[in-house]
């Protein structure tokens, strides 16, 4: 399933979403040292914060983050996925999510979402490096934002 994003005016958002953003901003500014302290200040439960925190971003925060989704077919043998993740990290990419299918006929499909905002070099260079890695049958960008 492809992630979809929406821009929504603040006044129509549920209160828990708005307070989650407030907590994230407080933590980022250093106004609160802990999540517990920040949620108490805005009047939000910790469970609500943890429920929404990874899916709610202020628009200016999304502009700083660049996320690429890369699909790969990897040989089903020890160390291939670890090497791929090491290559991404070595080029200053940060893996945000990873999904892997069950290997069939010796290959597994792996889809990773990568924060490329700090990537050293171009995304195309990363993908080319992945394609040339032993054990990687194919690698391609299937989404970028």
If you classify domain 65-144 with CATH, what class do you get? Answer: alpha beta
129 Rama sector, left if φ>0, alpha if ψ -120 to 50, beta otherwise: alpha
Predicted local confidence at residue 33, as pLDDT: 75
Mean pLDDT of 93-121: 93
Predicted local confidence at residue 32, as pLDDT: 73
Tokens of 100: 């892997």
Using pLDDT thresholds of 50, 70 and 90, give the confidence band for residue 107.
very high
Beta carbons of 19 and 43 less than 8 angstroms apart: yes
Report whether pLDDT(64) > 60: no
Beta carbons of 94 and 114 less than 8 angstroms apart: yes
Report whether pLDDT(61) > 60: no
Domain boundaries, the chain: 10-63, 65-144
Predicted local confidence at residue 67, as pLDDT: 85
């Amino acid at each position: 399933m492809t992630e979809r994003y929406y821009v929504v005016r603040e006044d129509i958002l549920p209160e828990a979403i708005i307070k989650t953003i407030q907590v994230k901003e407080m933590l980022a500014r250093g106004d609160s040292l802990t999540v517990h302290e920040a949620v108490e200040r805005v009047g939000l439960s910790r469970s609500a914060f943890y429920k929404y925190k990874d899916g709610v971003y202020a628009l200016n925060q999304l502009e700083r983050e660049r996320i690429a989704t890369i699909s790969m077919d990897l040989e089903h043998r020890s160390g291939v996925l670890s090497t791929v993740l090491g290559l991404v990290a070595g080029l200053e990419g940060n893996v945000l999510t990873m999904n892997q299918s069950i290997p069939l006929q010796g290959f597994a499909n792996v889809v990773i979402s990568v924060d490329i905002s700090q990537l050293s070099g171009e995304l195309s260079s990363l993908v080319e490096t992945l394609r040339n890695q032993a054990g990687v049958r194919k690698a391609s960008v299937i989404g970028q934002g």
